[in-house]
Amino acid sequence: MRILITGNLGYVGSVLVGHLRRALPEARLIGFDAAFFAHCLTARAPLPEHRLERQHFGDVRDLPGDLLDGVDAIVHLAAVSNDPMGNRFEEVTDAINHRASVRLAELAAARGVKHFVFASSCSVYGLADATPRREGDALNPLTAYARSKIATEEGLRQADLGAMVTTSLRFATACGFSPRLRLDLVLNDFVAAALAARRISVLSDGSPWRPLIDVNDMARAIIWALTRDESAGGRRLSVNAGSDAWNFQVRDLAAAVAAAVPGTEVSINHAAPPDQRSYRVDFSLFRELAPAHQPAMTLAGSIAALRDGLAAIAFADADFRNSPLMRLKVLEHLTEQGRLGADLRWREGEI
């Protein structure tokens, strides 16, 4: 089996390649990435890419069709990957996250690729009432990032992709340690703040709901999607990927981190206006379709892995929100240097 992973040099991809190598030891793994964040390493272990057969560099908007020759499956992670980046680069977010994704799927179908796995997001539900959101419920995207994910899912349904099986995994909010850690994610941020300052500041009143999934469990879901039969969910599937047990209120996440890092204080802004990004998610369809690939991590386990992983690199940066561990800061720095254009394309000679 030959698998192409786009965005493999990112937060999720750096964990995924190890899981793929262990779960599918005979597979040939190929990476394709623009390398914006390749230098953002947070582990002393060998580069995750040593597990690949080949690494290609390039812009997913220009991915050449002949790179797909002989490829059996694609894991499509490449994206402008969160709300702050989507807001800062709104038009580019649509171009990369949506239009380039549908183009890639069409190229893949034409080249005989059998499986296409798209990393979507539960953020497509936006503000919702207390009822956990199911796949058939109304969508309420509040950001350019969420809108781009919905547009891609719809594009995959409408495109003529023949017999190729597509799986859009609507992931809960990612968390957990990675060789290329991001700290612009709620649980990761809380652990970093606890270690660096022994203080967690919750900007909301703490009541918003967030569904979470550890990055290792994201990899487990991707492996299922790569290998699932069409009979398990149909040829075009969008499914919430996560666990009902991982629906948390933000204040409970802060309390759990404080308990794992002794001496940490938690402050909550009880006067904050309501946070519009509050929703719970129903993961029963994923549980039914993928019983052998359900999340295995616990909240305590994810927090411990983050705490211990950061401690291993002597993390103590109280100003981490202005560091390369925040993906938007990396893009802003590269554009300010003139190495990236406003369209997030490398200037000539930079890659």
Report pLDDT for 351.
63
329 alpha-carbon distance from chain centroid:
17
Sequence-distant (6+) residues with CB within 8 A of 151 are: 94, 97, 98
List beta partners, residue 136: none
Sequence-ordered alpha helix ranges (H) in the chain: 13-23, 83-88, 90-93, 100-110, 144-158, 186-197, 215-227, 250-260, 284-289, 299-312, 327-336
Q: Which residues pair with 4 in a beta bridge?
A: 30, 74
pLDDT value for 250: 94
Q: What angle do CA 73, 176, 310 make, to 5 degrees?
A: 125
pLDDT at 229: 95
121 contacts 171 by C-beta, under 8 angstroms: yes
pLDDT at 324: 92
* Amino acid 50: pLDDT: 93
Q: What's the pLDDT tens digit per position in 270-297?
A: 877 776 677 899 999 999 999 999 999 9
Residue 91 burial class via C-beta count within 10 angstroms: exposed 0-12, middle 13-18, buried 19 and up: exposed
36 token code pair: 């914006």
First to last CA, the chain: 29
Tokens of 116: 């296409």
Closest CA to 290 of 211, 235, 236, 217: 217
User: What's the longest Cα–Cα distance across the chain?
Assistant: 57
- Lookup: tokens for 16: 């995924």
Sign of the alpha-carbon torsion through 102, 103, 107, 110: positive
**β-strand partners of 346:** 340
CA torsion through residues 156, 157, 161, 163, sign? positive
List the chain pLDDT tens, one digit each, 351 residues. Answer: 999 999 999 999 999 999 999 999 999 999 999 999 999 999 887 899 999 999 999 999 999 999 999 999 999 999 998 667 767 788 899 999 999 999 999 999 999 999 999 999 999 998 777 789 999 999 988 888 999 999 999 999 999 999 999 999 999 999 999 999 999 999 999 999 999 999 999 988 888 899 999 999 999 999 999 999 999 999 999 999 999 999 999 999 999 999 999 999 999 988 777 766 778 999 999 999 999 999 999 999 999 999 999 999 999 999 999 999 999 999 999 999 999 999 999 997 666
Question: 6 φ, ψ to 5°?
Answer: -90, 145
**Confidence at residue 204, expressed as pLDDT on a 0 to 100 scale:** 85
DSSP characters for 246-310?
GEEEHHHHHHHHHHHSTT-EEEE-TTPPPPS----B--HHHHHH-GGG-----HHHHHHHHHHHH
Identify the residue whose tokens are 């270690």: 195
Distance CA 167, CA 240 (A): 11
Q: Please name the residues in contact with 255: beta carbons below 8 A apart, sequence gap of 6 or more.
A: 266
- What pLDDT does residue 129 have? 75
Q: What gap in Å lies between CA 325 and CA 275, rounded to an integer?
A: 24
pTM (2 d.p.): 0.95
Place of tokens 């996560």: 242
**For residue 132, how far is the Cα from the chain centroid?**
21
**C-alpha pair distances (Å), 346 with each of 26, 323, 331:** 34, 21, 11
